[in-house]
Every structure is written in structure tokens, then in C-alpha cells.
Structure 1
Amino acid sequence: MKKQWYSRIFFIVFAYVFVSIFVPSAYVFSSGSLTEKINTQVKTAGNAAGLEKRDVAEYIGSGVQIVLGFIGTLFLVLIVFAGYVRLTSHGEEDRVKKSTSTAISALLGLVIVLLAYGITRFVVTRVYNETTYEPTYQIDNQAPNAPYNDPNTIMSF
């Protein structure tokens, strides 16, 4: 019984000595804070996965463009449906009127969606270009680090 107690006490003392010697040295030899290490690992994983660093405005613009693309696809399906109804109407006036009204509504909706897509793309591009300033430096012997701003360069998504 005493032998078990001695072995437990020896193990506890050994663990305490081991922890007290080696754990404080880990803080001395660490190259940065835990936050910096985590951020470095996340950036490395993102780069390995092929992800880009993007701004919130870019995500919103991409989301709006995707939604408008789905709506445009819906209107295209409606136009095809209206054509199918017209082809299978066999001269029935009600089905011809239904297909005509469906096609006109779908075309008007498609025009509205295309205009909304164009306006959204224009606005998001201009907002992004105005809110992000990333100067490009020109290589020149007289002014080696002078920023080069080309007003004709517009970033598009």
C-alpha cells in the first residue's frame, strides 16, 4: 500500500518538475502571440485553398449579380414556356392570349432585370474604385516611389 503511495507521490513530483521546467521556456521561445499564429495559419490555409482577400462590397456585388442572374434565368424559362403554350394552342384564342401575355410580361421583366444588373454593376464598380485606394508605384530614376494614378484604369468584377 505504501509502495503505491510512494509511486503516486513520485509521479506527481516528477510531473510538477517537468511542467515547471519546460512550460515557461515555451513562452520564451515563442515567436509571437497566439493571435498572430492563428492568423498566419488561417491565411496560409486560405492561400492554399485558392481563396482571395475580398472586401464586403465585392461580396455584396457578387451576391446581387448572382440573384439577378437567377431571375434572368427564370424569365428565360417563362419565355420558353410561353412559346410552348403558343405552339400547342392549336388555334385556341384563350391559350394564344395567355401565351402572348406571358411572353410580354417575361420580356418586360427581362428588360428590367438587365437594366438592374447593368446599374448594379456600374454602381458597385464605381463605389469599389472610389473606396479603395491602392496606389501603383512607377519605377523612375528621378522619383522612384512616386504614386502613379491612372484615371482610366477601372477595376471590374
Structure 2
Amino acid sequence: MFELKNILKIFLVFTFLLIVNVQFCFALNLSDAFKANDGTDTDPLDAAAKSAGYNIQQTTTIEDTIASVINTILSFLGVIFLLLIMYGGYTWMMARGNEQEVEKAKNTIKTATIGLVVIVGAYAFSWFILQNLGESTLQK
């Protein structure tokens, strides 16, 4: 069934991938690399920012959290749109002249395009609302 050469090639590829992927399991985060033993930050960029008078504390507001959640959901919906377009194109190519399959593919592409318009509209609406909400809270 399989020749010894093919089995050896597959074994070598999987061994290489295993060795390369194991290296990432033991990698340190950049923030861990700059931590001292006493838990204080020793990052030179943080020290420079502090001496320049910048506040380096990461604070997020509720508006930032909402914007992040909305952007994540809309990005995920964009990926679904791309997959639906690819599925519609594949269905159309594999229809081989069958009118029902071609019509199904056209409807899939048309529905996905309408969905994309709705997604872009929702993104524009949420961006507008969050921008105005952020400005009004800053002015008070």
C-alpha cells in the first residue's frame, strides 16, 4: 500500500512538526521575561514611560469593552460571510449545468451578500453610537 520511502517521509515530517511545536510550549511571554523575582516590572520601556510622565496602567472602560465585543462578533460574521461565498462558488462550479444546483448557489451568494451589507451597516451604526457615546461621556 505505502512504500517505505513514503512512510519515512511522513514520519520525518511529523517528527519535525512535533519538535518545532514543542518549542512553543516552553516559550515565555514577553511580560514574564521582564519580571524581576520580587514581582516588580523591569521593562525598560515601562521605566522610560514612567520617567516621561506617562500613565502606563491598563484601564478599560465599559465603552471599550462593548466596542471590543461588537468588533469581535462582527469580525466573526465577516469570516462566516467569506465561507458562505466560497461555499456558493464551489456549489456553482460543481453544479455541472444542473439548474437547481446553480440556482441554489446563486441564492447562497445573494443571501451572503445581503448579510454582508447588514453586517457593514451594523458595524457603521455601532461605531457611530460608540463614538458619540464616548464623546458625550468625556464632555461631562
TM range (shorter): 0.5 to 0.7
**1:81-103 alpha-carbon deviations (Å, 9 max, x no partner):** 10011011110111101100000
Q: Name the TM-score, length of structure 2 as normaliser.
A: 0.58
Distance 1:51 1:115, change over 3 A: farther
| Mapping 1:1-157, distance limit 5 Å | 52-133=58-139
Q: Count residues in correspondence.
A: 89
CA distance in 2, matches of 1:51, 1:82: 47
Distance 1:54 1:133, change over 3 A: farther
Identity %: 28
Give the number of the structure whose alpha-carbon radius of gyration is greater: 1
Q: Name the TM-score, length of structure 1 as normaliser.
A: 0.52
Give 1:66's aligned amino acid.
Answer: T
Structure 2 gap ranges (5+): 1-40, 47-55
Q: Secondary structure of 1:89's partner?
A: coil
Moved over 2 A (4+): none
Structure 1 gap ranges (5+): 1-43, 135-157
Q: CA RMSD in A?
A: 2.3
**1:33-83 alpha-carbon deviations (Å, 9 max, x no partner):** xxxxxxxxxxx8xxx7x7621111110111011101101110111011100
CA distance in 2, matches of 1:86, 1:80: 10
Contact preservation (8 Å) 1:58, 1:128: no
